[in-house]
Amino acid sequence: MLAPENSIEGLVRAHGIGCRGAEFDAMLAACGTPVLMHDETLERTTVACGRVAQMCWTELANIALKTRDGGVSEGCVPSLVMALETCLTLGMAANIEIKPSAGAEHATGLAVAEVAAHCWTHPGALPPLLSSFSIPALEAAAQGAPALPRALLLERVGADSITLAQALGCVAMVVERSQLSASLITRAHDAGLGVAIYTENDEVRGEHWLASGLDGLITDQPAQFQR
């Protein structure tokens, strides 16, 4: 918890402690611009109120983000383009979670993929990973940027999860940490899929799984793992 959620400051600070990549959420503003936001409403992470999908980027760009303790930060809601340009400048990998508001699954997946593909044109740069819980969003992302890698996010792992990820053309699954097992890692790897977990803040447990073949983890406490 180095900085406000989904902020440019967070990317800069993560890079400063040695992180090689970052995960952030992308949602559509009313004008179709992808912005960094987790919730459909602004109250939790910003000083404003209202629904993200009902506000244009020109409005959102001037709304201050809250600090982790509820204060007012110096940063405002960033666009996806701003975040990707920051990652490119810092040399960081990007995991973009496609976070559609209700009813906007296809539009969000398509727009996020197209923006990511347009931004990520630097030779040698690791392409961003597009992930989502939404199957329609992932299908749209495949249409918008078929060359970009995709990952299926799962709160619960079922018997058909690996088959579903393969059918969607994903390169990986990102599962809730309680769903992880050695068997899942093995079965996913045998199927040609990577496995990552969210949100792991216990460095001992996280390091154990990484040593056991886990391909990556998402954490709110990167400094612990850097140690």
HSE of 29, CA atoms in CB hemisphere, 13 A:
17
Distance separating alpha carbons of residues 10 and 83, to the nearest angstrom: 10
C-beta of residue 35 within 8 angstroms of C-beta of residue 26: yes
What does 89-106 look like in DSSP terms, one character per residue? HHT-EEEEEE-PPTT-HH
Q: What is the DSSP letter of 54?
A: G
pLDDT, one tens digit per residue, over 2-48 is 799 999 999 999 999 999 999 999 999 999 999 999 999 999 999 99
Q: What is the model's pLDDT at position 227?
A: 61
Percent of the chain's residues with pLDDT above 90: 92
- CB crowding 173-193: b at 16 or more within 10 Å, else e: bbbebeebeeebbeebeeeeb
Q: What is the model's pLDDT at position 42?
A: 98
Whether pTM exceeds 0.85: yes
**195: helix, strand or coil:** strand
pLDDT, one tens digit per residue, over 127-182 is 999 999 999 999 999 999 999 999 999 999 999 999 999 999 999 999 999 999 99
- CB crowding 1-12: b at 16 or more within 10 Å, else e: ebbbbbbbbbbb
